[in-house]
Amino acid sequence: MSGKKQPSRYGTLWTREELILGFDLYCRIPFKKTKADNPGVTELARLLRRSPASIARKLGNFGSFDPELQRQEITGLVHAGKLDKEIWDEFNNDWNRLVLEAQRLKLELGGRDESQTQAARDFSGPEGPSERETMRKTRIHQAFFRDVILSSYDDTCCITGLRIRECLVASHIVPWSVSEEYRTDPHNGLALVRLLIDSLIVG
């Protein structure tokens, strides 16, 4: 990459594609960490050629629709737009499509391929040439599910209270193999210590 400063899109309206990526990121990080210096925020700012502050504000807009925050008497930003709400309503119960659409857009912008992340590689699945595309999609879904569940539990095991992200797994309530509908649903997971899961399986 050259040393030239990337052009700013300050003042330009957000597109539908940008909002999909914004909502994808909103799901992945705790609301209290939606700050301009968050690594996820700065990476999305780089991809969209917007400032980190503008990304953080957009995440705050999504927060204004979030019933979980409302139950905690936390309010998001008050200047959310009509298209923000449309994206929230469209994808809030269609997690599988959100994951695949956001990944497609990231790749088009030069972002990372989530099927190659460590969290995704840790997930075992079908092998062989005929299963390559299925495995890639599985890994992408698994990476999203891990991010959103650990975010929901603030990187804390819901049983032991351990707060070491590397030791935690996102465990499905309705098993992955049982229902495709719930594979990426944020309401279908628990943050648990990996050793606790291993001991339950062995026991």
Q: Any idea where the domains of the chain sit in the sequence?
A: 12-112
- Is residue 128's pLDDT more than 60? no
Sign of CA dihedral 32, 14, 27, 72: positive
HEC profile for 25-88?
Answer: HHHHCCHHHCCCCCHHHHHHHHHHCCCHHHHHHHHHHHHCCCHHHHHCCCCCCCCCCHHHHHHH
Region 40-60 average pLDDT: 96
Distance (Å, whole) CA 142 – CA 81 = 31
- The predicted-structure confidence for 167-183, as pLDDT tens digits, reads as follows 999 999 998 888 788 88
- Is residue 148's pLDDT more than 90? yes
Q: Which residue has the higher pLDDT, 70 or 195?
A: 70
Instruction: With H, G, I as helix, E, B as strand and everything else as coil, classify residue 51.
Output: coil
Strand partners, 189: 172
Instruction: With H, G, I as helix, E, B as strand and everything else as coil, classify residue 168.
Output: strand
- Is residue 48's pLDDT more than 80? yes
- The predicted-structure confidence for 51-89, as pLDDT tens digits, reads as follows 999 999 999 999 999 999 999 999 888 889 999 999 999
- The predicted-structure confidence for 149-166, as pLDDT tens digits, reads as follows 999 999 999 999 999 998
- Is residue 199's pLDDT more than 90? no
pTM over 0.85: no
130: pLDDT confidence band, cut at 50, 70 and 90?
Answer: very low
Output the pLDDT for position 8.
Answer: 64
